[in-house]
Structure 1
């Protein structure tokens, strides 16, 4: 697609091409800068419109006996002298170049007798010139239309568009840039593009451009990538950015297309929340908990530390659910999740893996006896009454404890050993913990 500056230059060249031959004729034939147009039909009107906008050529008048001719109307709108007779016009205008746009060669002879043969363009020559003018005007109209469409697209797209020079100075922005970053468009023109970047990108940007211009090596041009933007109010937000290099009049520029992806990132986070967290207690679900266990066991292997898994099954939950209703049961589960988090460190993990089953992962342990202390703390916390809408209930907790690297050697062993120990706690009377024993 042709950019706006190129379109403007093409249109300027079109207009100049239309008059350059005439200007050279005026200078070569020494008839000054005054032009007299004979005939106010379509051809004469076209010449008048082109020459009237040319500063070096002065339309001294137009000649036609038909006062309704289109060229006469154009002349009236531009305050150009109007004549109905060529002789009178020549008397008034004096030294000039005459364009005879009629089919009457006698008028060309009359004009040649007054200004010389070299000062008259008529007949086939004038017709050819009029055809050139007509084509150039059509081209100009098409270019203006393309420019208008391009401007409309750039003005209305949701993506931000910004152009900068090789020093990082902002040259142009579209309205979307202002909306995305919170600036007025004119506040950004002339500013360094790093104004829209948080640290550390802000401090590195100018050196990156300098290195690229010096070496021609860069890995960010021509591809979309995610970066951070800085709004006027100081908010840092996620952006998708595509940068390309372009040349105009032999000079290097860079154009960037930016898209605010804050909503997309929020949607992704929501999807992750739905996929990885229990929607009632907002604790990690089974999938995320297993990922955390894998990571914790790998870290324990590197640091020569231990990990303990507490498998927790609530005692008496079914009775609460059946007698006081599901609302009370749900409230109880939420409260259990809160109390579990109060009993462990920020580096530990509590999860709900289904129904009334919870797990706790104690990481980076150097004293395995800590697991039993935490288990007792959890049992005491969960034994406290829970009140909801005037009803009160309480539950107990049977907890199985397994540790890594002994007796469990991997995640599957850890879960199996903790689950087995939990059933041992239930069989021993519930509301207590049991520790998996190393196998001999």
Structure 2
């Protein structure tokens, strides 16, 4: 009786047999640039992200269990092996750049991903060569990036693939959606990467939902005569601007300062390179002059949250996030952008140990997320995470 085995099944059969017969978990590979040899057991598996609900994965396990039961062992063992294979293997291409198969290379699996890579993998038969395409001043592997996926798709699609198959949220320069060159601090905690950025922009949600008088806030200065209330002042207005609250005309000098500040801010946040702390400095520059519902102010708040996270400053990120949430509540309460921001803040407060504040946000978000199945599921998952954390803390 003949039957067909997929490439993936054949690869798994070879790998499972190698691990069992040749003690493959301890097999070493040294690229010449690593301080210590790399072993199969050192590879990430993300087995906790894999589930029996994946029918294809569960079918593969059953096939392998029938073919080589002793090598396949248990479901848990299978996931550890499969996860390492899927996440760390390379697609091998021939001279015509056509797919020739898959290969698992222990040392190159250390290389991180970027959607703006500075290196690429090439193959000479079964041998892998990592070729750096730009001049770099460091031989550190942390400064060399390859792409795990094709780069022709949109940011949303790329992030979706990376999350689904590699289980991380990409924060490379291209995925930030900005022409910037921020660098995270050397001791940046990688678990914070999932907190950086979100699918839907708060500013775009505001622009989509602002109506009537509320839209005036998007271009407004603070009245210097009353309590800092918003005064609509568009880009081309230089005089004759009157506060509708105190009925006083804003001095021409104040309007000029307002325009100068906005021009400086816009030049910085649209520049090819945005300096670290640039968004925070812009917010300080606008404080007291520009109304906090102004477009440029909102954009800087979004950037400042991510910038603070890249510096491991969770408290500052939470403060900017709360300011951004105030904007959401005014213009786009219950929008997907608002709920995504709440989820990020909840995880931030969990890291900061302020579970009470985070839970209040989640309870509010639960009311608004009911119409979006995916967001509702994410809110419920985060609430369950909070309950589990609470339970652990009570036990301790």
TM range (shorter): under 0.3
TM-score normalized with structure 1 length: 0.20
In proportion to residue count, which structure has more strand?
A: 1
TM-score normalized with structure 2 length: 0.22
